[in-house]
């Protein structure tokens, strides 16, 4: 039985933590059954050893029958060898059970996160998702040991109780009643652990999210002088999490201490009763030896039962968190009207912005968040009265909107992998990546049309599109500077590239999709004036005849726009060309002139770091 990390994980049971764990078991029930059988036989054979030893003493050693002694001794050796093999197979099977549960949970969580899409950030924090992926998944998979050693412990416990009946009814009753008593004593602690563990996980997810925010905005915080304030807040939050961790550890320590101490007291009682009965002549010497052996053999199932309870208590907490995440649903898509068949006007009544199809439009505002809000409304990322060709966006199926309208976020995530994959050229063979790199080196600043006329070999069209996207984003130098070109591995979020390089890679990725409508927020804010001017020229040429909206205040971009909307307090105050607004709108002129003064210093340190 192998584990396919790419198979369909199935539809999880989202009705509760226990049901989710049961679903994981059902999805691999043959493997779980094999683990339970192997563990049961393994533990029962552990108890068979003292039984064989008692027979060897009573029928071989005590009467002096060397043949019987040799036979029973050989049986013990054979059982030990078989049990060693069973132990190996049990461990392998349970490892597969845990790994399957791990992969399956990861796949359902990632798949659901993908299905939520843009709605994810509005419903759950990034720290929650990270905590689920890093901690809860592992806890859930570990808790599935209950289907192997846990079941085996119950079977072995019953088997030992049955064997003890052949020795002494009193001892058998003590054994059979001992574990339920242990369960009653440890049960309240298990319930308390679930509560403490749930609170700890919640605090951990919040702190994880703050760590991510700090890592992403540390330079800005340092520049504004707010690093100390945030560091103090983080110190307080981490202190609370540490205290909560101590509370979880305190309950866990009591469970583990009682889990070790109480069984020892229970087994000591069984041993004492057995010794008294042997001294009184109620049981033989061999039976006394078997009692000692049964006591040792009981140590395994009792320990596994207590560990099973502990792991299940933690596992159900983690499963409830996963289930809560899986219950999140994106906003209902009630669109029933088709999107316009031809490029049409996008209109945002809240701001008065009207986007004419096939033109390069710029949105200029003192507050960038106002322009970003408009782009979100025009792309239907937030509820609004925006229309497309006169049809309300909310009445158009979301799949149609996403297929034709793209928002290029300047802070969009960049995944780790070869640069070609980061840009979005999926499944491009190495030869294709090399071809793009060679072409970029050869033509340098070649035109878009020249790239599109590439030879028609398999994959040539994809390579031509990638070349054109990189050229438009002025990203050729990034490819040339990397040791293996497009095949060079890039770290998550492209942290081994400079800020300006990351921005151009994001722009190239957006251009590669060639959307009908491209909405870009500050696509060149981290570039120097020369590179920004190059991108502006190439972008206007590459998007000729297609709808493009830029939220920017850079005069280098605005001078190339067909239409500029000047926004004041989130509403259109004036519309015209860049030159017309400079001549007629003092507020626009002051805003753009301020940006123009700092244009040469915008790239700064962001472009200063060499590509690695």
- The alpha carbons of the chain give a radius of gyration, in whole angstroms, of 34
Output the pLDDT for position 604: 40
The strand pair at 571-576 and 563-568 is best described as antiparallel
Mean pLDDT of 140-159: 82
Other beta carbons within 10 Å of 391: 15
Q: Please tell me the distance from the alpha carbon of residue 123 to that of residue 114, in angstroms, as a whole number.
A: 13
Other beta carbons within 10 Å of 594: 11
Question: Which residues are bridge partners to 199 per DSSP?
Answer: none
Output the pLDDT for position 496: 85
SS3 of 117-176: HHHHHHHCCHHHHHHHHHHHHHHHHHHHHHHCHHHHHHHHHHHHHHHHHCCCHHHHHHHH
Output the pLDDT for position 601: 43
Output the pLDDT for position 7: 75
Assign 272 a pLDDT band (cuts: 50, 70, 90). Answer: confident
Output the pLDDT for position 584: 92
pLDDT in tens, 277-303: 778 877 776 677 677 777 767 767 777
Output the pLDDT for position 238: 76
Whether residue 193 contacts residue 248, with contact meaning beta carbons closer than 8 Å, is answered with: yes
The backbone torsions φ and ψ at residue 405, rounded to the nearest 5 degrees and listed phi first, read -120, 125
pLDDT in tens, 494-533: 888 888 899 999 999 999 999 999 999 999 888 888 999 9
Q: Angle at Cα 130 formed by Cα 128 and Cα 131, nearest 5°?
A: 65
Question: Strand, helix or coil at 386?
Answer: coil
pLDDT in tens, 37-53: 998 888 888 777 777 77
Q: Which residue would you say has higher pLDDT here, 284 or 255? A: 284
SS3 of 283-327: CCHHHHHHHHHHHHHHHHHHHHHHHHHHHHHHHHHHHHHHHHHHC
Output the pLDDT for position 40: 86
Lookup: tokens for 166: 């052949």
Mean pLDDT of 176-201: 65
Chain centroid offset of residue 31 CA: 26
Chain centroid offset of residue 382 CA: 25
Lookup: tokens for 319: 């499963």
User: Which region among 115-129, 182-196, 233-247 has the lowest average model confidence (pLDDT)?
Assistant: 182-196
User: Which region among 140-149, 202-211, 228-237 has the lowest average model confidence (pLDDT)?
Assistant: 202-211
Q: Which helix (H) or strand (E) holds 355?
A: strand 353-355
Residue 440 has pLDDT above 70, yes or no: no
Q: How far is CA 89 from CA 143, 155, 448, 488, in A?
A: 19, 18, 61, 42
Residue 243 has pLDDT above 50, yes or no: yes
Assign 370 a pLDDT band (cuts: 50, 70, 90). Answer: very high
Output the pLDDT for position 127: 61
Q: Please tell me the distance from the alpha carbon of residue 400 to that of residue 187, in angstroms, as a whole number.
A: 54
Mean pLDDT of 207-228: 54
pLDDT in tens, 392-415: 999 999 889 999 999 998 778 888
Q: Tell which phi-psi region holds residue 81, choosing left (phi > 0), alpha (psi between -120 and 50) or beta.
A: alpha
Assign 557 a pLDDT band (cuts: 50, 70, 90). Answer: very high
Q: Please tell me the distance from the alpha carbon of residue 363 to that of residue 373, in angstroms, as a whole number.
A: 11
Assign 436 a pLDDT band (cuts: 50, 70, 90). Answer: low
Chain centroid offset of residue 528 CA: 36
Residue 62 has pLDDT above 70, yes or no: no
């Amino acid at each position: 039985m192998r584990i396919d990390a790419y198979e369909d994980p199935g539809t999880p049971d989202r009705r509760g933590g226990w049901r989710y764990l049961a679903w994981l078991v059902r999805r691999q029930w043959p493997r779980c059954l094999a683990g339970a059988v192997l563990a049961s036989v393994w533990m029962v054979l552990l108890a068979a050893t003292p039984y064989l030893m008692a027979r060897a003493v009573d029928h071989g050693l005590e009467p002096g029958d060397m043949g019987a002694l040799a036979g029973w001794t050989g049986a013990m050796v054979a059982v030990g060898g078989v049990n060693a093999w069973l132990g190996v197979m049990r461990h392998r099977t349970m490892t597969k059970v845990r790994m399957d549960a791990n992969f399956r949970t990861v796949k359902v969580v990632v798949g659901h996160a993908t299905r939520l899409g843009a709605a994810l950030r509005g419903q759950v924090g990034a720290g929650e998702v990270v905590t689920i992926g890093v901690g809860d998944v592992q806890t859930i998979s570990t808790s599935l040991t209950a289907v192997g050693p846990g079941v085996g412990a119950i079977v072995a416990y019953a088997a030992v109780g049955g064997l003890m009946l052949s020795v002494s009814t009193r001892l058998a009753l003590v054994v059979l009643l001992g574990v339920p008593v242990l369960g009653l004593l440890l049960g309240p602690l298990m319930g308390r652990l679930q509560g403490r563990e749930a609170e700890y996980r919640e605090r951990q997810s919040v702190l994880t999210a703050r760590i991510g925010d700090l890592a992403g905005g540390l330079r800005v915080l340092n520049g504004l002088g707010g690093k100390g304030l945030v560091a103090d807040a983080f110190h307080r939050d981490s202190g609370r999490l540490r205290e909560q961790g101590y509370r979880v550890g305190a309950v866990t320590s009591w469970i583990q201490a009682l889990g070790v101490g109480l069984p020892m007291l229970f087994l000591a009682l069984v041993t004492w009763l057995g010794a008294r009965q042997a001294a009184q002549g109620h049981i033989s010497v061999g039976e006394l030896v078997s009692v000692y052996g049964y006591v040792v053999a009981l140590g395994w199932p009792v320990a596994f039962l207590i560990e099973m309870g502990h792991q299940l208590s933690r596992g159900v907490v983690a499963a409830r968190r996963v289930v809560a995440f899986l219950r999140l649903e994106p906003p209902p898509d009630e669109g029933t009207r088709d999107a316009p068949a031809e490029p049409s006007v996008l209109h945002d009544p809240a701001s008065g912005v009207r986007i004419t199809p096939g033109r390069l439009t710029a949105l200029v505002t003192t507050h960038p968040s106002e322009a970003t809000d408009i782009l979100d409304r025009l792309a239907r990322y937030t509820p609004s009265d925006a229309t497309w060709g006169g049809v309300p966006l909310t009445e158009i199926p979301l799949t149609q909107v996403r297929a034709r309208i793209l928002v290029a976020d300047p802070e969009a995530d960049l995944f780790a992998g070869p640069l070609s994959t980061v840009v979005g050229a999926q499944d491009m063979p190495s030869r294709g990546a090399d071809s793009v790199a060679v072409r970029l080196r050869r033509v340098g600043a070649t035109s878009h049309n020249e790239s599109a006329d590439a030879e028609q070999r398999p994959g040539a069209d994809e390579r031509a599109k990638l070349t054109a996207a990189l050229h438009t984003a002025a990203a050729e130098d990034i490819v040339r500077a990397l040791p293996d070109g497009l095949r060079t591995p890039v770290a998550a979020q492209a942290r081994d590239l400079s800020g300006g390089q990351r921005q151009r890679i994001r722009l190239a990725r957006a251009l590669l999709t060639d959307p009908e409508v491209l909405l870009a927020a500050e696509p060149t804010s981290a570039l120097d004036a020369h590179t920004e001017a190059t991108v502006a020229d190439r972008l206007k040429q590459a998007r000729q005849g297609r709808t493009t909206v830029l939220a920017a205040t850079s005069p280098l971009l605005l001078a190339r726009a067909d239409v500029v909307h000047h926004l004041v307090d989130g509403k259109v105050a004036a519309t015209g060309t860049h030159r017309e607004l400079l001549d007629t709108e003092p507020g626009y002129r002051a805003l753009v002139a301020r940006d123009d003064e700092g244009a040469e210093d915008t790239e700064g340190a962001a472009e200063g770091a060499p590509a690695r």
